[in-house]
Amino acid sequence: AVTTGGLLFSDNFDSYNASVWSVPAGSGIWQVTAGNLIQTDSSVYNSNIYAALNQNLSNRSLYQFYAMIDPAADGTNQHRFGFHFFSDNAALTNRGNSYFIYFRQETSTLEFYKVVNDVFTLSKTINNVTTVFSQWYDYKVIFDKTTGKISVYRDNVLLGSWTDSSVLTTQGDYISFRTGSCKVNISELKVFRSRPLSVAVSLGAAATND
């Protein structure tokens, strides 16, 4: 876990901030209602909303958000949603080079993916992960870019981990949510980064001081 660190990014979705979030054409209908970011188009198989975020500053990052899958679906397609991190180009279909975690409701699985040159590979599947419709969950994803280990917690229970033996060396400049054939509500997104045990802080009134 990230034992010492600082808040790197925060959005409680009090309103939709178009200067922070981007949605490529055909990537779903995203809106903010009552403190929730909602993707409302269940016909889209790969929705995308992304934000710029420098994840190269520290060895470890912790991504936390709350999410709920709506029962509405597009035909018989599986309800599924996920989160991309350490992406170098989130505007692309599979976010360029990145990692992402994916939950599938019908198959009760958690999946770990690695994306290289916009082509994703399923790296690991965790079974027996039941996701209940219309129930909010607290998700935490911890990524260590030095060891390649990714750990996923839900409601503070470790669901599974996967370690990439050949960690991406591309820049981690974006984060992105992804849904498939379903509506998803997201709230209270926070990203934290690790820091050294001691940090130099400069005092004073100058603009260069902390």
The tokens describing 195, both together, are: 């820091």
> What is the per-residue pLDDT for 3?
41
pLDDT in tens, the chain (210 residues): 334 568 999 999 999 999 999 999 999 999 999 999 999 999 999 999 999 999 999 999 999 999 999 998 788 889 999 999 999 999 999 999 999 999 999 999 999 999 999 999 999 999 999 999 999 999 999 999 999 999 999 999 999 999 999 999 999 999 999 999 999 999 999 999 997 666 677 788 887 776
Q: What is the DSSP string of 52-71?
A: E----SSSEEEEEEEEEEEE
DSSP summary character for residue 198: S
SS3 99: strand
Q: Name every residue whose Cβ is closer than 8 Å to that of residue 24 and which is 6 or more positions away in sequence.
A: 48, 91
